[in-house]
Structure 1
Amino acid sequence: MNTTDTSPAPRIIVAAFDAGQRMPSREDLVTLDEQLRDELARLAGLARGAALTVPARSRAWYALTAAIDAAEDADRLVMGNGPLTAALHVAELARRALGLRDALEVTQQ
């Protein structure tokens, strides 16, 4: 992604991956969940648009559609009630956000 990216996404993603060790409060995990879902929706929209601009069945098209599908699957999941399951959940959402970012980078090469 753009190195001048000023969105809060990198901070949110780091916080999500760190949640398994820090074990933040339930409220913080809910906030992370909401922020990551917003970021997934934003990135999935960009990826859908990018998929329309690349040749169908190309490497970039497959990368984009696979990342979109994986993000949509993760977005359907409900955050668990326990602290560890909630931390793992936000980490999975963050992983899918990174997958979308990586797929978008493929189209810029």
Structure 2
Amino acid sequence: MALIANLLILLVALLHLYFLVLEMFLWDKPKGMKVFGLTPEKAAITKVMAANQGLYNGFLSAGLLWGLYQGEAGFDVKVFFLLCVLIAGLYGAMTVGKKILYVQALPAAVALVLLCLTVI
């Protein structure tokens, strides 16, 4: 169970690294505009905001990777950062679009449940 939980946590961390790349470097490029449904004008206006958002996704990824690096001792770190991802995903689903619920919140929730089952 611990291996599956850690693999899912790794997946969540890699997703957030991907979000970092999309938001910080590809926001106003064809790939980023397609993913986020942006026009070139909207991408140009929101580029700095998106880069800031991407940086935060990088911090979430770094925290999850840090928790994984610590092994069993990183349990609390993993729980904290998974909760951060889950809350951000729920908020994003309510304010931006329901797709975020499935792309961000659901993987974090499943990883959190599996992680908690490792201590039972």
TM-score (structure 2 length as normaliser): 0.43
- Greater relative contact order (CA < 8 Å, ≥ 6 in sequence): 1
Instruction: Pick the structure with more helix per residue.
Output: 2
Larger Rg: 2
